[in-house]
């Protein structure tokens, strides 16, 4: 038999296609979130390395200053209080440096986990912490791009389409199914009768007809199933609309954070430059007796604070740029090609 007329078949196929497309969109969502997590973990590791480099430099300056103060104290040019004050500053910033090493190891483990690498493996950043670029699109262009490309929104819309097709399929299942039916029967025999007469007989029977199946009393059940699918479809539409609202707010918040981070980065860089100049001037003044050890200690503290502020500002800036790429559904540079290669590999496997 051949069922050549099945009213619900096309709708069921379209529903399955929509579900497959939704699964592909879910993969893209997971991939984008994974890329952002790896980026942020890497930026955090870079920031930890930047702080270690900065405070190692400050430690060396402090150590030189302590040795110089000790020599002057031995020569009777300053009192022991200045030496102890310089040592206290050295030990305080040494404690900070130790904590930065601890954070570095923790951040390396976090990055290894994000990359699905063994957590006992220490990952070193291949480059220093720097601004990764800029976001050139306007706020409105960014919002429009996100609303048209975000897979989360498309996923809900595909769910809506699949449920609508399921609703149609449920109603069409009530309609009769037409089928072409065929039947063939044959009998053949050959032999000898009474050991002298040969015989050869055959018998065939053929039939061809049109069949109909129709569950005539299932109309109410089909209608109820269809209504249930339609209700789920409306819910998927509501979820898509709510997701659009969330995307708008997400883009606005991230865009504002990006612009704020630009100002913060500029201010932190100016503060760091000023702190470096201050320590140079105060060390020179201390050498000729125009400044005391308190000025040196305060300058060291300001340099440490400025270094932390600059590193944090760079981290916030890079995170905001990475988030704009993620939330606007745009792949960062250098990600699209490796991702396509990975997808092809998964398909082959």
Whole-angstrom Cα distance, residue 241 to residue 262? 32
Q: In what order do the strands lie in the sheet with 197-213?
A: 2-5, 177-193, 197-213
Considering only residues 31 and 205, tell me which one the structure prediction assigns the higher pLDDT: 31
Among 255, 265, 274, 303, CA closest to 132: 265
pLDDT tens readout for residues 245-279: 999 999 999 999 999 999 999 999 999 999 999 99
What is the predicted pLDDT for the residue at 4? 46
Q: How many CA atoms lie within 13 Å of 49's alpha carbon, on the beta-carbon side?
A: 16
pLDDT tens readout for residues 290-345: 888 888 889 999 999 999 999 999 999 999 999 999 999 999 887 777 777 776 77
- The CA-to-CA distance between both ends of the chain, in Å, stands at 38
Sequence-distant (≥ 6) Cβ neighbours of residue 83 within 8 angstroms:
66, 69, 70, 73
Query: H helices of 173-218, where?
Result: none
Whole-angstrom Cα distance, residue 292 to residue 301? 15
CB–CB of 38/111 below 8 Å?
A: yes
Whole-angstrom Cα distance, residue 107 to residue 104? 5
CB–CB of 291/108 below 8 Å?
A: no
Helix, strand or coil, per DSSP, at residue 1: coil
**How does the average pLDDT of the chain come out, rounded?**
85
% of the chain surpassing 70 pLDDT: 81
Whole-angstrom Cα distance, residue 260 to residue 306? 18
**DSSP letter assigned to residue 127:** S
């Amino acid at each position: 038999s051949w069922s050549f007329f099945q009213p619900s078949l096309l709708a069921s196929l379209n529903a399955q296609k929509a579900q497959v497309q939704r699964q592909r969109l879910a993969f893209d969502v997971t991939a984008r979130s994974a890329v952002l997590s790896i980026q942020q973990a890497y930026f955090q590791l870079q920031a930890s390395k930047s702080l270690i480099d900065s405070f190692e430099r400050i430690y060396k300056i402090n150590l030189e200053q302590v040795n110089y103060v000790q020599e002057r104290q031995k020569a009777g040019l300053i009192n022991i209080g200045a030496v102890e004050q310089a040592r206290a500053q050295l030990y305080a910033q040494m404690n900070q440096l130790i904590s930065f090493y601890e954070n570095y190891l923790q951040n390396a483990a976090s990055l290894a986990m994000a990359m699905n690498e063994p957590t006992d493996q220490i990952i070193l950043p291949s480059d220093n912490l720097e601004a990764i670029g800029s976001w050139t699109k306007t706020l409105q262009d960014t919002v429009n791009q996100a609303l048209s490309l975000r897979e989360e929104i498309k996923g809900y819309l595909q769910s809506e389409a699949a449920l609508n097709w399921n609703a149609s399929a449920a109603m069409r299942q009530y309609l009769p199914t037409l089928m072409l039916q065929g039947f063939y029967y044959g009998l053949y025999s050959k032999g000898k009768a009474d050991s002298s007469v040969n015989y050869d007989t055959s018998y065939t029977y053929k039939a061809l007809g049109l069949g109909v199946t129709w569950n005539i009393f299932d109309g109410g059940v089909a209608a109820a199933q269809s209504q249930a699918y339609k209700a789920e479809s409306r819910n998927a539409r509501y979820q898509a609309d709510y997701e659009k609202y969330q995307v708008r707010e997400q883009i606005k918040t991230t865009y504002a954070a990006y612009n704020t981070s630009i100002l913060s980065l500029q201010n932190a860089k100016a503060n760091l430059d000023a702190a470096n100049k201050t320590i140079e001037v105060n060390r020179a003044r201390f050498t000729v007796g125009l400044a005391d050890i308190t000025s040196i200690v305060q300058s060291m503290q300001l340099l440490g604070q400025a270094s932390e502020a600059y590193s944090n500002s760079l981290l916030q800036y890079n995170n905001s740029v990475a988030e704009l790429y993620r939330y606007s559904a745009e792949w960062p540079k250098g990600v699209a090609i490796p991702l396509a290669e990975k997808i092809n590999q998964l398909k082959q496997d």
